[in-house]
Amino acid sequence: METISTNRSHGGVQGVYTHASAVTNTEMTFAVYVPDREDDEKLPVLWYLSGLTCTHANVMEKGEYRRMASELGLIIICPDSSPRGQDIPDDPAYDMGQGAGFYVDATQEPWAANFQMRSYVEQELPALIADEIPAADMQRQGIFGHSMGGHGALTIALRNPDRFKSVSAFAPIVAPSEVPWGKKALGRYLGEKKSAWRIYDACALIEDGARVPEILVDQGAADNFLDQQLKPHLLQEACDQAGIGLTLNMRKGHDHSYFTISTFMDDHLRWHAARLG
Amino acid sequence: METISTNRSHGGVQGVYTHASAVTNTEMTFAVYVPDREDDEKLPVLWYLSGLTCTHANVMEKGEYRRMASELGLIIICPDSSPRGQDIPDDPAYDMGQGAGFYVDATQEPWAANFQMRSYVEQELPALIADEIPAADMQRQGIFGHSMGGHGALTIALRNPDRFKSVSAFAPIVAPSEVPWGKKALGRYLGEKKSAWRIYDACALIEDGARVPEILVDQGAADNFLDQQLKPHLLQEACDQAGIGLTLNMRKGHDHSYFTISTFMDDHLRWHAARLG
């Protein structure tokens, strides 16, 4: 792990790091915020997964999480949303390829060699954090994210309920199998056999028996992507059927941007802190 | 005034606007944040002037001012730091030309036709705001800024003590006549006659009799520009001699970045709100 930058902020240190990933076969960059702490104190770890087009930097610059993370004593980890590089497969569209990893392990060409974001976020990066960030208490992890990253957070939490004690999302893609962004990406990363998509679809995972105790979602009511891509009512229906406690806040006048995320960031950090102890 | 974007955030609306400036002879872009308010309620106006290389967007994205501005009921206005455009004079250096207007009215070629940032920030933009933002109470204005924009805030407040009821700065250039950034910019915008620089130098203005009752400055102790460009002790000496109450906070471990500005943003907003009523 190599340090790109560290900056003192809000009673902690915001770091940016790179490492050679064995699962994506690229250099991967990520951000870690560590609040000041007593010697040897361990702090809970909260993963933030970003949306389409974003790197680690978008939420680091615009998410406004440091003040409250410091107050609550939460480590915040922000991975990139895909492998990147000149020699890495890409697509001219913003919703496919670099910046659009969808937190899946691709099985199709040309993506399979690098686009292994499920394994990266679920396995490789947590192992690195456990080794390199002594403050990180890997027994207390939560996960959240935005849009495509909300999809990532929900599906990773649903597949790993023992590891993640808390999950929330801003404007998540809740049923990628049913919406244009998801159909395109899952089809091309995983092939057209829809049965292979279900472990990457929050609503399908719940239908198939995956469970978390509760979920917090904040969704802008003025979000341009609400009706076509996000469809939070599908998550509401799946949670109702499964007995999962979903807190779904529809936020009047709010759109899909970081202006919305930053507004409700404090609420989400408090949600996670209350469950991570 | 034309609207570029509006986004709901933290109980208010963040807008970005452009207009044709008659003093810079360019389109100028600026950001205005207006908290929700009662009908016809007027709110104090706080000007934020940005540093070298910045547009209106840097503080809008990284400054973390909206939550507290909304809580305190402050309108925040963020102008650009210079005129911009393909046909506008520029310099390859980051500290001269576009992105480096230094809040002066240039008298030298090729700058004089466009680089009139003093008149723009002191006269033209306030008149536009008074016309176009009905919530703005122009009887209650404060001003702050960062680095070159801290220099702008200090000098504008010192020249207009009746208009600005509060002033503060993050890591300001306090004595541009004495430091490399300032000598270069003032020399090229104003000519080599140093007497013409004094109205654009906070310490010289104070020496020459300009007064404000008090100033708040937050300065990172780990700021790379501290010793060569910023020299806050010069402002301390000038204020001590003049009987101006300077609160100068040296912040251990903090650098020149928005990671520092955002950390102390709440303190500055409270400082201004307390003085703007």
**What domains can you pick out in chain B, each with its CATH number?**
2-276 (3.40.50.1820)
Residue B223 falls in the annotated catalytic set? yes
Query: Measuring CA to CA, which residue among A50, A36, A28, A45 is closest to residue A8?
Result: A36
- Contacts of residues A240-247 at CB distance under 8 Å and 24 or more positions apart, as own/partner, are A241/A206, A241/A207, A242/A206, A242/A207, A242/A211, A244/A206, A244/A211, A244/A212, A244/A213, A244/A214, A244/A215, A245/A213, A245/A214, A245/A215, A246/A214, A246/A215, A246/A217, A247/A214, A247/A215, A247/A216, A247/A217
In the structure, what pLDDT confidence band is assigned to residue B58 with cuts at 50, 70 and 90? Answer: very high
Mean pLDDT of chain B: 98
Model confidence over B73-112: pLDDT tens digits?
Answer: 999 999 999 999 999 999 999 999 999 999 999 999 999 9
Are A188 and A101 a contacting pair, CB within 8 Å? no
> A253 CB near a chain B CB, below 8 Å?
yes
Q: What is the pLDDT of residues B137-160, one digit of tens each?
A: 999 999 999 999 999 999 999 999
CA A36 to chain centre: 24
Beta carbons of B9 and A61 less than 8 Å apart: no
- Determine the residue of chain A that is closest to B257 in CA distance: A7
CB contact under 8 A, A9 and B64: no
Tell which residue, B237, B227, B177, has the closest CA to residue B206.
Answer: B237
User: Distance (Å, rounded) from C-alpha B161 to C-alpha B165?
Assistant: 7
Q: Which residue stretches of chain A have pLDDT < 50?
A: none
Specify the DSSP class assigned to residue B183: H
CA B193 to chain centre: 25
Query: What CA–CA distance (Å, rounded) separates A62 from B62?
Result: 6
ipTM given for this complex? 0.95
Helix, coil or strand: residue A21:
coil
pLDDT digits (tens, 9 = 90+) for A122-170: 999 999 999 999 999 999 999 999 999 999 999 999 999 999 999 999 9
> Which DSSP string corresponds to A148-190?
HHHHHHHHHHHH-TTTEEEEEEES----GGGSHHHHHHHHHHH
A221, closest residue in chain B (CA to CA): B8
pLDDT tens, B116-144? 999 999 999 999 999 999 999 999 999 99
Catalytic residue, candidates A223, A254, A268, A272 = A223
Name every residue whose Cβ is closer than 8 Å to that of residue A22 and which is 6 or more positions away in sequence. Answer: A124
State the smallest CA–CA distance between residue B195 and chain A in angstroms: 39
Is the alpha carbon torsion for B188, B194, B196, B201 positive or negative? positive
Instruction: State the count of interchain CB pairs (< 8 A) between A and B.
Output: 63
Secondary structure (3-state) at A102: coil
Average pLDDT rounded to a whole number, residues B43-72: 98
The nearest alpha carbon in chain B to A66 belongs to B263
Is the pLDDT at B39 greater than 90, yes or no? no
The verdict on A257 touching B (C-beta cutoff 8 Å) is yes
Residue B226 contacts residue B255 (beta carbons within 8 Å)? no
Q: Does B193 touch chain A (CB under 8 A)?
A: no
d(CA B236, CA B256): 19
Contact predicate A51/A277, CB 8 Å: no
Q: Cα(B249)–Cα(B241) distance, rounded to whole angstroms?
A: 19
- Residues A26, B268: Cα–Cα separation, whole Å: 43
Q: What is the pTM of this model?
A: 0.97
Best residue in A5, A8, A267 for a mutation probing chain B (most B CBs within 10 Å): A8
